[in-house]
Structure 1
Amino acid sequence: MQNRRQFSRVLFSTDAQVIFNDHQYPCKLLDVSLHGALITKCDAFISNTNSNAILRFILPQSEIEIKMEVVVCHIEADHIGLKCHHIDIDSITYLKRLIELNLADDELLHRELAMLIHDTQE
């Protein structure tokens, strides 16, 4: 199977919350990219693909919160794939730094940022 990902994901496990229809559901962030995230599936979370939600998580040993508006892309037995469709400037700055530290490839990160900027301008 061909990998169609345009954005590198980094493994990053931390507690998170997904907010759907004004209800917060606890979950675990499994990995993250500039364009989305993979979270554990929580039993109470009932949603369909293409549903809008908000993903929030705090960076460990800090008070920095990353918050992104997401669309549910796929729901599997143990996890949910989310695609980011909006993120504020502070969150994207911290997310960029998190990925930069874990990716160890500045050139790849800058290419992905350019693709992300190009996508939002279309």
Structure 2
Amino acid sequence: MTDHTERRRYSRVDFGTTVTLSQNNEQCEADLLDISLNGFLINTPAHYRIDVTEPLQASIPLADDALIEMQVTLAHSSNEQLGFRCESIDIDSIGHLRRLVELNLPDEHAVERVLSELLRAG
């Protein structure tokens, strides 16, 4: 297990969709690789510009016309992938995200533990 994996406290689930990132009147789309209650990982878009000193708005569409919308900051980057940390999220979006994670975790109680950790950390 790598140091990066050992440091990860939030269960991540694979979820294939497109994320729209917006910042300073610019937008780009990218393929979502996985998501957690604390952030998400995407394939690095071909053309993008991010001001790392400013948050971005992320919109993640769900199958039922719902959206997960959150304010994020860049947590780590490589040539292939960008990882984002959730800085704020509205009540409807956290409900959608919680349900998404809940449905995809093998342990039905894991999402409660993760959500409790997230609330204590914030």
Question: How far off its partner does 1:16 sit?
Answer: 1.5
Select 1:67's aligned residue among 63, 66, 69: 69
The TM-score normalised by the length of structure 2 is 0.90
For residues 78 and 120 of structure 2, the distance between their equivalents in structure 1, rounded to whole angstroms, comes to: 30
Q: Which runs of 5+ in 1 are unaligned?
A: none
Counting only pairs closer than 5 Å after superposition, residues 90-109 of structure 1 correspond to structure 2 as 90-109=92-111
Does residue 21 in structure 1 map to residue 3 in structure 2? Answer: no
Q: After superposition, what is the alpha-carbon deviation per residue over 1:3-53, rounded to whole angstroms, capped at 9, x for unaligned? A: 211100001110120112221101111100000000121122122545411
For residues 14 and 111 of structure 2, the distance between their equivalents in structure 1, rounded to whole angstroms, comes to: 15
Question: How far off its partner does 1:107 sit?
Answer: 2.0
Q: Identity over aligned residues, as a percent?
A: 34
Select 1:34's aligned residue among 25, 33, 37: 37
The TM-score normalised by the length of structure 1 is 0.90
- Hey, what does 1:8 align to over in structure 2? 11
